[in-house]
């Protein structure tokens, strides 16, 4: 992703006072990361070959039921941190590196 | 801060499955950032001269009362994102760039 696009998507948090709208959008994404089960799911997906994992392989490692995992994956997808492709009763989840790059750029001092 | 210390403090989120303990610690920090008022406070402090601001200068820009601002500053301090020095009824708050660098390193894909 071009640097210009990253800057446009995600205003740096720390170089000037954030507007209310920017603060709302950025806080929603950090809130999605503010849960240990979601962080574990994201790390499992990112560490899988090609950064893609089937939801069927995520329940056992995090010790949660299919509905609970499905809920947390939906929160990660709503925050733009993963994409989901439905495959029968499961979903294939892929990390979105550009979204993580945006968050990193927002945390630059 | 030395790169070794950053890596030791904050295991990369996305290169291997996170342990439960690492996920708990990291999620607590992201949760502290998952609130628009706290993000605005952090950006105001970081944008102030020397990365330090008096809490007396933070209430009006975020439109919140002194007790509310005080609560949010305590959450940011507990997460290691700012340090606080009490000055009478106010506190001087300073951003901790090393903590933000740790979070950035955790988000590297």
Q: For residue B6, what pLDDT is reported?
A: 40
Report ipTM for this prediction. Answer: 0.84
Residues on chain B touching A32 (C-beta within 8 angstroms): 34
Per-residue pLDDT band for B42 (boundaries 50, 70, 90) equals very high
pLDDT one-digit tens code per residue, B44-54:
999 999 899 99
Percentage of chain B surpassing pLDDT 70? Answer: 87
Contacts of A29 (CB under 8 A, 6+ apart): A79, A80, A81, A99, A103
Cβ(A39)–Cβ(B18) below 8 Å = yes
Is the model's pLDDT at A52 over the cut of 50?
yes
Of the candidates B34, B102, B38, B103, the one whose C-alpha atom is nearest the C-alpha of residue B64 is B38
Per-residue pLDDT band for B20 (boundaries 50, 70, 90) equals confident
Q: Distance from A36 to chain B by nearest Cα, in Å?
A: 5
Per-residue pLDDT band for A16 (boundaries 50, 70, 90) equals confident
Separation CA A33–CA A36 (nearest Å): 8
Chain B positions with Cβ closer than 8 Å to A: 13-18, 20, 23-24, 26-28, 30-40, 42-44, 46-47, 51, 61, 95, 97, 100-101, 103-104, 107-109
Which of A51, A100, A109 lies nearest to residue B46, judging by beta carbons? A109
| Bigger pLDDT: B13 vs B25 | B25
């Amino acid at each position: 992703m071009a640097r210009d696009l990253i800057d446009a998507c995600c205003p740096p948090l720390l170089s000037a006072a954030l507007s209310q709208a920017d603060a709302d959008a950025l806080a929603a994404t950090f809130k999605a990361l503010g849960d240990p089960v979601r962080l574990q799911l994201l790390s499992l997906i990112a560490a899988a070959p090609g950064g893609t994992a089937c939801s069927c392989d995520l329940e056992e490692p995090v010790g949660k039921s299919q509905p609970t995992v499905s809920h947390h994956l939906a929160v990660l997808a709503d925050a733009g941190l993963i994409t989901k492709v439905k495959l029968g009763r499961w979903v294939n989840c892929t990390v979105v590196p550009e979204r993580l790059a945006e968050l990193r750029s927002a945390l630059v001092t």
